[in-house]
Amino acid sequence: MQYQRLSVWNTAPTSAPAQRRGRYVLGSAAHPAKMLPVLAAHAIATYTRPGGLVLDPMCGIGTTLVEAVHLGRHALGTEYEPAWAYLSEQNLRHADGQGATGAGAVYCGDARQLTEHIPPAFHGTVDLVLTSPPYGSTVHGQVRSTRESGKRGVTKRDYRYSQDPHNLAHVGLDRLIEAFTEILTECRHLLRPGGTVVITTRPWRERGELVDLPTAALAAGEAAGLIPAERNVALLAGIRDSRLITRPSFFQMTNTREARTRGIPLHVVQHEDVLVLTKPGKAVSSGEPKGGPEGHPLNTAAAFRSRTCARTGVSHDHR
């Protein structure tokens, strides 16, 4: 497979908590799989222009949406879990208070029915889809040492998206990729001709075996009718004096040490694969529609008609 280019993105000049501090509301850190804000901002700035429309079909706490509206883009997101959809909405409102100029909306529902959740006014108008498929609980979570209580070991928290067994974070790889293909197919219908899809993902090891999610995600994109264009590297490590400053998680360090004890030369993963695909068709100009941002469908009354999450009764539209 021939890609047009490959580049390395310096997306972790500071730690993840430092990137989110003050920019996201309290409780955002509890989500087990948050995209780095600088990574999201870099993708949005690279593949869209001010006034463009960005979509994240699995938006979580809304990192893609928040960074988009801060950059003067408009943003749409869907989220399966009501609690995270509500938090995403709160983060958008927080961005409003910080002077973000873009508009955004969050819809609570299954991304496999994306075209049913997103109003028809937006179909065929999205410039960029930016998202990440969910990982299993073995990859995510925060730990706390139990030594202070007189016991050796650690306790793990914030490693589950939900208790809902239908959440794609809880299914096997084959079913996940099948569902992700359905989601990307829905995204293709919402993209404008020539529009871009950016997928951030990484491999992980489960019981010693490598799970190559990036390659599987790329295959899902092709099966959904998208054309591979780039495969980039987004650093999870900082750069200081021309050296990489790694920020591995507890689990990465533990797995690496155990592997090396067994004679396996395992290294800590300090990057994410950034897969870039495009929708077939002649590219059209993205950016501010005729008449300026006020003319964008996202600013019309019809688009902002309140949509209610059936499971919570909470509106997740953002004005």
- Please write the tens of the pLDDT for every residue from 220-229: 999 999 999 9
Domain boundaries, the chain: 8-135+175-299
Q: What string of DSSP letters covers 2-50?
A: --SB--EE---SS-HHHHHTTTS-TTGGGSSSPPPHHHHHHHHHHH--T
Q: How confident is the model at residue 208 (pLDDT cuts 50, 70, 90)?
A: low
Given a cut of 80, is residue 76 above it in pLDDT? Answer: yes
- 241-273: pLDDT as tens digits: 888 887 776 767 777 788 788 887 777 778 899
Q: How is residue 238 annotated by DSSP? A: E
Mean pLDDT value across residues 49-69: 96
- 7-19: pLDDT as tens digits: 899 988 888 889 9
In this prediction, residue 15 carries a pLDDT of 87
Both structure tokens of 269: 């993963």
In this prediction, residue 159 carries a pLDDT of 43
Lowest-confidence pick of 104-113, 251-260, 263-272, 290-299: 290-299
Given a cut of 90, is residue 2 above it in pLDDT? Answer: no
Residue 200 or residue 290, greater confidence: 200
In this prediction, residue 286 carries a pLDDT of 57
In this prediction, residue 203 carries a pLDDT of 80
- 13-42: pLDDT as tens digits: 888 889 999 999 988 888 777 899 999 999
Given a cut of 70, is residue 291 above it in pLDDT? Answer: no
**For residues 72 and 53, what is the distance between their CA atoms, to the nearest angstrom?**
10
Given a cut of 70, is residue 83 above it in pLDDT? Answer: yes
In this prediction, residue 190 carries a pLDDT of 97
- 142-198: pLDDT as tens digits: 445 455 555 555 444 444 555 656 566 656 777 889 999 999 999 999 999 999 999
Where on the phi/psi map is residue 196: left (φ > 0), alpha (ψ -120 to 50), or beta?
beta
CB 86 within 8 A of CB 24: no
- Residues contacting residue 192 through CB under 8 Å, at least 6 positions apart: 124, 125, 126, 127, 279, 284, 286
Average pLDDT for the chain: 80
Q: How is residue 308 annotated by DSSP? A: B
In this prediction, residue 122 carries a pLDDT of 94
Q: Which CATH architecture has domain 8-135+175-299?
A: 3-Layer(aba) Sandwich (3.40)
In this prediction, residue 140 carries a pLDDT of 46
**For residues 169 and 255, what is the distance between their CA atoms, to the nearest angstrom?**
21
